[in-house]
Amino acid sequence: MAAKKTTKSDKSELIEALDIIEKEKQISKEVILEAIENSLLAACKNQFGKSENIRVNVNRETGEVKVFAIKEVVDDDDLEDEATQMGITEAILVHDKTEIGDTVEVEVTPKNFGRIAAQKAKQVVVQKIREEERKVLYVQYLEKEREVITGIVQRYSGKNICVNLGKVDAILMESEQVKGEHFKPTEHIKLYVVEVKDTTKGPRITVSRSHPEFVKRLFEEEVTEIQDGTVEIRSIAREAGSRTKMAVSTDNPNVDAIGACVGINGSRVNAIVEELRGEKIDIINWSDSPAVLIENALSPSKVISVDVDEEEKTASVVVPQDQLSLAIGKEGQNARLAAKLTGYKIDIKCE
């Protein structure tokens, strides 16, 4: 049976619409057309019966829909099921070079197919578009995982902050915030993308401003020597909102690793301190010698001696009497950060 004819303009509307979707939403036109074909195939099987082998084709140029029955060619005397078989005599009339055992396609597009099937397929197609949009968003933001991203503050939800990241929103949880930081709606803030998960409602993005990697990524953005690999950040320890210690190294004898991070007149480090709302940053030289590394990590205090037990990962440090409080730091912060930075349990004693 012949399908209801569609005008040229109507035919091209579907393809034009899919072209727009592909361009604006970055969803493959072919994926949507395949979804349309699959949904129409389900509608066909309800109408023709599941025993019949049906193929639905949407013309990629015009959008015209046709339905084909796929039948096995048999000897005329062996014809048992006209839904799935075709006698050789009739098959030759359709395709003149057909032989027994071949399969042939016969167009069987019904009159009312365009209206009924399109209506039935609409929901499936819309769902496919939503799924593909979600996948595209997920892939886009998955590439930003463990990177710094800029967001716009929307509103406070209790103690959590809703932040717009462009195409999706994220929640900056209270546990990922820096104590004492407050933001106003529409304010642009930088965030570290901790994790991106795929959900039925779209990508769920965990962001943070208190993560130690946040400071590391800010330095990578600011310092060209870190970007090109000349300077490497070897370790970082942070107490968000208060202080960060960072150990850096370089294999280039002509480069000052600490100086590169600090910048001319402190320009580079000051830009990061400003982004972190005044958080103090100590930058030290990395050393493969645990004793030297621990001594550097306890700066700005002076150290007399360091006795290291590499197996137990412990260190006994002796400092001058007047340097003890400086080495330990306020509420033990300096010693605590040094221990995190080096991976050693540090016991500090005065001379």
Residue-wise pLDDT tens for the chain (351 aa)?
444 444 444 456 778 888 888 888 778 888 888 888 888 887 777 766 655 688 888 888 887 888 888 888 999 888 888 878 899 888 888 878 888 989 888 888 877 776 766 676 677 778 877 888 888 899 999 999 999 999 999 999 999 999 999 989 999 999 999 998 999 999 999 999 999 999 988 899 999 999 999 999 999 999 999 999 999 999 999 999 999 999 999 999 999 999 999 999 999 999 999 999 999 999 999 999 999 999 999 999 999 999 999 999 999 999 999 999 999 999 999 999 999 999 999 999 988
**Helical pair 113-142 and 8-25, crossing angle rounded to 10 deg:** 10
Same fold, 147-208 and 229-350: no
Per residue in 310-330, is it b (16+ CB within 10 Å) or e — as a string?
A: eeeeebebbbeeebeebbbbe
CATH number of 147-208: 2.40.50.140
Domain definitions of the chain by residue range:
8-133, 147-208, 229-350
Q: What is the pTM of this model?
A: 0.71
* Fold that domain 8-133 belongs to in CATH: N Utilization Substance Protein A; Chain:P; domain 4 (3.30.1480)
Q: Which CATH class is domain 229-350?
A: alpha beta
